[in-house]
Amino acid sequence: MTATLLDETHDPSARSWVESANAADTEFPLQNLPFGVFSRRGSNEPGCIGVAIGTSVLDLPACHAAGLFAGACVAEGGACRDVSLNALMALGPTHWRALRRRLSELLRAGHPDEGRHHAMVGPHLVPMAEVEMRVPAQVGDYTDFYASLDHATNVGRMMRPDNPLLPNYKWVPIGYHGRASSLVISGTPVCRPRGQMRPEGAETPIVGPSRRLDYEVEVGAFVGPGNRLGHPIPLADADRHVFGLCLVNDWSARDVQAWEYQPLGPFLAKNFATSVSPWVVTIDALAPFRVPPVARPEGDPAPLAYLDGEDHQAWGATDIQVEVHLSTARMRAAGTEAARLSRARFRDMYWTIPQLIAHHTMGGCNLRPGDLLASGTVSGPEPSMRGCLLELSWRGQHPVDLPGGERRAFLEDGDEVVLRAWCEREGATRIGFGECRGRVVAEP
């Protein structure tokens, strides 16, 4: 696939006349072109669709109004003029690619029409510093998975030292439905939730603010066209139903979770807030970074037929580096940089995004454009790769040391968590996801 999907939009030698897109450390070079929804800072406008390029945001409805997309199929759909990405997501890969090619052409340095492009497109670039971002889609349903074997094993080991992994894990991509209403955009403060919990050793529960507030670093996938009820998406078609990826912080109140989760799963422990990053890196932009799924450990069963296929074996996974950074109020006051808590590779996940799509729909469940699937905590085999404090501090037993002498078993008020991710490899241009940021504030 990577061979067939790579085109001139991935050409690593291409540069943009938007100078900031050529900086060595940019997350948004010409080869990325992620989509988001923005409004001018301080305005009360409904959001409009933008594309990140260097340190600017390209105003898509303005480009559309200027006739710059004439001929690209998307122009007819009005999808660019929507207040969310849902209509664009619904159009499907042919339209997405036509629009990507056109955007790449309009922004490319050295194009025969560069002068005209620059003159016509330039006025529709808005500095990132002047915009605020919105949740990029109206999410009808949000699903959260549990696709990291390392995460599931670590968490299982804390609960059941002799039998860490449940017998279904290597057969079923475990997932559950999350809360769509409390999805918030990166930067939104996260209120420490109250909840019911039972202190260790106590007979009866208490009610109060969670004392074991945690983050989870995850990769999110926004659904494209989706499927009708009763019509599963086969694994081989799954890529056509993924518009792109973002970062997700699945905030979790561990004390609430431990008390409430049996027998129907997490509920209030997770539904008080879930943060998403504003830029959706498209499946097309990620084409150069598709890789075979990680080899299953010796002795593990092969995936069942509906979760397996030749193409999937060749490029079912995506190689993304995922990091978590933390700063405390004291660190910020002292001018100390945020500390990196973990770095993991998304390709180490036991289940890939196409497998999550195929599994989600196998019984006929319908996915709608803009639905969000999150991967579950991205952890890896090494301790430095653990994607939440529950794992890093081993349920609070070994608090994490921070610069300046502070320690954290779980999050304190004022702590700010920043998730970052990027893709890089020899022969391709490095692309980034931007950040997913959230600061914990005391309950009101």
Annotated catalytic residues are 151
User: What tokens does 4 get?
Assistant: 């067939």
Smallest separation (angstroms) from a copy of itself to the CB of 167:
8
Beta bridge partners of 53: 56
Which is closer to a copy of itself, CB of 52 or CB of 147? 147
Smallest separation (angstroms) from a copy of itself to the CB of 50:
25
Which is closer to a copy of itself, CB of 112 or CB of 299? 299
Number of C-beta neighbours around residue 76 at 10 A: 11
Number of C-beta neighbours around residue 372 at 10 A: 25
Which is closer to a copy of itself, CB of 263 or CB of 335? 263
Give the binding range for a copy of itself (CB under 8 A) out of 51-59, 262-270, 334-342, 404-412. 262-270
Q: Among 41, 42, 23, which residue's Cα sits nearest to residue 32?
A: 23
Report if residue 431 touches a copy of itself, rule: CB under 8 A: no
Which is closer to a copy of itself, CB of 2 or CB of 271? 271
Report if residue 161 touches a copy of itself, rule: CB under 8 A: no
Give the strands of the sheet with 56-59, arranged side by side. Answer: 125-127, 56-59, 48-53, 35-40, 131-134
Site for a copy of itself in 50-89 (CB under 8 A): none
Q: Helix, strand or coil for residue 437?
A: strand
Among 330, 368, 381, 394, binds a copy of itself (CB under 8 A): 368
Report if residue 263 touches a copy of itself, rule: CB under 8 A: yes
Contact 242, 224 (CB under 8 A): yes
Q: Helix, strand or coil for residue 420?
A: strand
Among 177, 296, 398, 407, binds a copy of itself (CB under 8 A): 177
Q: Among 341, 345, 330, 344, which residue's Cα sits nearest to residue 418?
A: 341
Which is closer to a copy of itself, CB of 68 or CB of 390? 390
For residues 407 and 394, what is the distance between their CA atoms, to the nearest angstrom?
Answer: 14
Among 81, 153, 261, 291, binds a copy of itself (CB under 8 A): 261
Smallest separation (angstroms) from a copy of itself to the CB of 35:
22
Site size with a copy of itself, rule: CB under 8 A: 63
Report if residue 205 touches a copy of itself, rule: CB under 8 A: yes
Q: Count H helices and E strands in the chain, helices first.
A: 12, 26
Smallest separation (angstroms) from a copy of itself to the CB of 18:
36
Site for a copy of itself in 266-325 (CB under 8 A): 266-268, 271-273, 301, 304-306
Which is closer to a copy of itself, CB of 173 or CB of 316? 173
Report if residue 168 touches a copy of itself, rule: CB under 8 A: yes
220-239 footprint of a copy of itself as x/- string (CB under 8 A): ---------xxxx-------
Looking at this protein, which amino acid is placed at residue 272? F
User: What tokens does 428 get?
Assistant: 């391709």
120-159 footprint of a copy of itself as x/- string (CB under 8 A): --------------------xx----x-------------
Contact 28, 430 (CB under 8 A): no
Q: Among 203, 224, 197, which residue's Cα sits nearest to residue 89?
A: 224
Give the binding range for a copy of itself (CB under 8 A) out of 1-9, 178-186, 343-351, 381-389. 178-186
Q: Among 32, 431, 359, 96, which residue's Cα sits nearest to residue 242?
A: 96
Report if residue 174 touches a copy of itself, rule: CB under 8 A: yes
Among 83, 365, 400, 428, binds a copy of itself (CB under 8 A): 365
Q: Among 327, 323, 344, 349, which residue's Cα sits nearest to residue 336?
A: 327
Smallest separation (angstroms) from a copy of itself to the CB of 236:
16
For residues 326 and 279, what is the distance between their CA atoms, to the nearest angstrom?
Answer: 21
Number of C-beta neighbours around residue 11 at 10 A: 15
For residues 49 and 57, what is the distance between their CA atoms, to the nearest angstrom?
Answer: 9
Q: Helix, strand or coil for residue 305?
A: helix
Report if residue 259 touches a copy of itself, rule: CB under 8 A: yes
Smallest separation (angstroms) from a copy of itself to the CB of 229:
6
Estimate the share of the chain in helix, then strand, then coil, as percent rounded to the nearest 5. 25, 25, 45
* Positions in the binding site for a copy of itself (CB under 8 A): 140-141, 146, 166-168, 171-172, 174-182, 184, 191, 193-196, 198, 204-205, 207, 210, 229-232, 253, 256, 259-268, 271-273, 301, 304-306, 359-360, 362-368, 371, 443-444
